[in-house]
Structure 1
């Protein structure tokens, strides 16, 4: 399952995360952590419409222009600035080219262009008739080698701790109204959803990180160790009530490119297989994700919720119910929308407080690692790599 952003007036755009070298997003955010035995507060400035956004826009020949515009810059403004610097003609369109070659053309009323890109997506501007000539950049393919040796040196708890710390920063920055803007259409409100975009893309990034590392680890014995490691990290995320990363890791391990590693799974100790089976049960979508909802109902904040499910709830509420009946507001629908918004507010109503163990080593290295994950987000490539590592048994 990959979270896909719903475009303002049609289904099917992309996923999220902070930027890559080919489409960087440079925003001024501050991060501070109080000293002491427990982490009590993380500060990060939310992305605002007037924040300066530095990013690259490419041509068909992969030359590019670096633009510096406000976060709420329109599609027309981006095209005009890029065309002036790249000396392009008229009738231009702005397009995202994903790592798998898929192209998504932006509409005039689209906002949050850069934060709404897929993990390895890149922005292109080109004449409409030349769209078919746009191809992914070489760096969009993702890493060519895994980081097994680095992951093995880091404690599972430390990785989960810093994943949670970063997720909490991102989650704390988004406002519950952003869910409404994204589902109802940002152009109706002239509002950005950049903080929600980044948080949702982070879910996809962690999911693909798990798949990427598993598919880039060639020795069977190391793949078994890595699989155990990810299950342990997921367990700690669940303990920290970081349900967003917990589900992302579990879904990464459930991806066909990883789940088909029969030789790898056979060598995993039964203790970990049983633990993972319980994790998958908590993800059971039957009866409207009843298992997950019952578990969350017993939790107290701070909670980092499984955001794609909240987005699904709000989307279904919006699309399955009319906003007006005979010119009158459908208050029942508004109450359901408000309930989802209140859930977001409730989850972050208390500051994050996770005990820092004395054994936590290399904190700076762990922090840098989890905030700069390099992934392959092309499912076809990952599946091919998987079959090469463990060919289908005849």
Structure 2
């Protein structure tokens, strides 16, 4: 039934296009004749002009985009089990993005000679550039995503032969979609097209990200099951943006040959298979293992043997510090003796800081309010949990951590160690939140006070632990949160009272005590 429905939609599109083409003969008949001719001759990508490809990509995606209903954005419908029913057009947009991205990679990798690969890459770069000038940022991102696939970007010899002019086009498009400063340049381009009332296909993935952030950071319903008006207004604002783009249609000329070609794409969506094709593409065409010189084979074998020997020795030496960190049963004395022989050379060492991490930790939760009594709303941070539903993020390499989020974790540690007073920089940070200072707001992921700054602000210390599989995870929570108390009191939006944050907070949090087992415990007196 679904395929029949899709077929009716496609037929309706073709008929409406044919009626607009204003040919003197029957448009529908001529289109069918052209399609029959195409059956005997399979056209290739290079047979079409870049302008016709860009126009057809735009029109096909516009047909999907204009059908998206506002209700499809609610409650992340595109991620639910019945997503094909409650968000069919969003699912089509997502599927389309993946299909075109993989198609770009497939087209390049199915061409074995380097000269043709260069032609294909040039074709896609120019097509993306035309999409950009048509305001079709979604198709532009699909092509950029395909060309940035690891299986394509690793083709160094091929990319070296791409003319500098096309590389400049490619870099310009990537600069437009750079996510620095929250896609600043991309937003500028959108604003220009909105002001000129030009048709636009925005990068759809960014809309889905916005709605995900809204659902995670601004729940539609509060703890008392009352509707969160502010959160609903934010959702409405983004839905209206989508509807605004849908209200200005594209009216581009279409090519039935290109349309037929794009409807019958050969796409490889298996990353492993694409990578294998990439390896085969870069291999020398006339090389064979039996033709390698004996001395090179011998040298390669010795190198492999040396690497394997070093890796095994390194693994064995690593067992001693690993056992010490995990506090498992001790190793035989001979293991420690061997480790002692090599330890002066610092070949293997215990990771200096945080060799082991606890399954629970204290976190700061920053909240603002208009009256200081009710409706406390939380600020969200990029790389630290601020609510139970906040997805944990992994930052690599492990030696790197964003400075603000790192220090926001250090503050609770200092409280546990007996230092209850907030540092000076934290007071300045809260003052920036009270004034909605742009430089400070740029450091947070979510600001619940977009219209005006809060009148009051406070910081609570909460214990966070990973949610267990079961009820917590089924309800969408990643963390179990336990409130420990208010840190530093509540701050009114009054610079004269700003430094009252320096009060002793021992009346809110008891400092660490050692129990008989020697384990640090914490008591709360509220």
Instruction: Bin the TM-score by the shorter chain.
Output: 0.5 to 0.7
- The 8 Å contact of residues 84 and 91 in structure 2, kept in 1 or not, is answered as no
- The 8 Å contact of residues 78 and 87 in structure 2, kept in 1 or not, is answered as no
Q: How big is the shift at 1:35?
A: 2.1
Equivalent of residue 156 in structure 2, options 254, 257, 262: 262
- The 5 Å alignment of 1:225-374 reads 225-300=119-194, 301-327=198-224, 328-354=226-252, 356=253, 363-374=255-266
Check 1:149–1:350 CA distance in 2 against 1; reply closer, same or farther (3 A cut): closer
Check 1:269–1:337 CA distance in 2 against 1; reply closer, same or farther (3 A cut): same
- The 8 Å contact of residues 184 and 318 in structure 1, kept in 2 or not, is answered as no
Report the equivalent of 1:375.
267
Report the equivalent of 2:45.
151
Check 1:148–1:380 CA distance in 2 against 1; reply closer, same or farther (3 A cut): farther
Secondary structure in 2 matching 1:241:
coil
TM-score with structure 2 setting the length: 0.46
Secondary structure in 1 matching 2:3:
coil
- The 8 Å contact of residues 77 and 83 in structure 2, kept in 1 or not, is answered as no
Check 1:384–1:188 CA distance in 2 against 1; reply closer, same or farther (3 A cut): closer
Q: How big is the shift at 1:321?
A: 2.1
Unmatched runs of 5 consecutive residues or more in structure 1? 1-22, 38-146
Q: Does 1:196 align with 2:174?
A: no
CA distance in 1, matches of 2:184, 2:56: 29
- The 8 Å contact of residues 164 and 237 in structure 1, kept in 2 or not, is answered as yes
CA distance in 2, matches of 1:306, 1:269: 27
* 1:318-365 C-alpha deviation (Å, 9 max, x unpaired): 1122323342322221122112111110111122133x4xxx8xx221
CA distance in 2, matches of 1:192, 1:326: 26
CA distance in 1, matches of 2:84, 2:258: 38
Q: How big is the shift at 1:374?
A: 2.1
Q: How big is the shift at 1:165?
A: 1.1
CA distance in 2, matches of 1:184, 1:250: 24
- The 8 Å contact of residues 283 and 291 in structure 1, kept in 2 or not, is answered as yes
Check 1:185–1:251 CA distance in 2 against 1; reply closer, same or farther (3 A cut): closer
Q: Does 1:35 align with 2:13?
A: no
- The 8 Å contact of residues 148 and 217 in structure 1, kept in 2 or not, is answered as no
CA distance in 2, matches of 1:220, 1:184: 40
Check 1:202–1:191 CA distance in 2 against 1; reply closer, same or farther (3 A cut): closer
Tell me how many residue pairs correspond in the alignment. 257
Secondary structure in 1 matching 2:168:
helix
Report the equivalent of 1:25.
3
CA distance in 2, matches of 1:265, 1:318: 41
CA distance in 1, matches of 2:71, 2:277: 41
Check 1:184–1:148 CA distance in 2 against 1; reply closer, same or farther (3 A cut): closer
Check 1:203–1:166 CA distance in 2 against 1; reply closer, same or farther (3 A cut): same
Check 1:151–1:321 CA distance in 2 against 1; reply closer, same or farther (3 A cut): same
Check 1:338–1:255 CA distance in 2 against 1; reply closer, same or farther (3 A cut): same
Q: How big is the shift at 1:294?
A: 2.1
Unmatched runs of 5 consecutive residues or more in structure 2? 23-40, 285-299, 301-526
Larger radius of gyration: 2
CA distance in 2, matches of 1:303, 1:148: 32
CA distance in 2, matches of 1:185, 1:256: 26
Report the equivalent of 1:219.
113
- The 8 Å contact of residues 211 and 255 in structure 1, kept in 2 or not, is answered as yes
Higher percent of residues as helix = 2
TM-score with structure 1 setting the length: 0.60
CA distance in 1, matches of 2:80, 2:257: 38
Secondary structure in 2 matching 1:286:
coil
CA distance in 2, matches of 1:217, 1:168: 30
- The 8 Å contact of residues 203 and 245 in structure 1, kept in 2 or not, is answered as yes
* 1:137-162 C-alpha deviation (Å, 9 max, x unpaired): xxxxxxxxxx9971111111011111
CA distance in 2, matches of 1:316, 1:153: 43
CA distance in 1, matches of 2:70, 2:275: 36
- The 8 Å contact of residues 244 and 307 in structure 1, kept in 2 or not, is answered as yes
Q: How big is the shift at 1:201?
A: 0.8
Secondary structure in 2 matching 1:199:
helix
Secondary structure in 2 matching 1:324:
coil
Report the equivalent of 2:495.
none
Q: How big is the shift at 1:291?
A: 2.2
* 1:175-197 C-alpha deviation (Å, 9 max, x unpaired): 12212254487689996211221
Secondary structure in 2 matching 1:309:
helix
CA distance in 1, matches of 2:78, 2:135: 29
* 1:255-288 C-alpha deviation (Å, 9 max, x unpaired): 1111111111111111000110111112212222
Check 1:382–1:223 CA distance in 2 against 1; reply closer, same or farther (3 A cut): same
Q: How big is the shift at 1:26?
A: 3.1
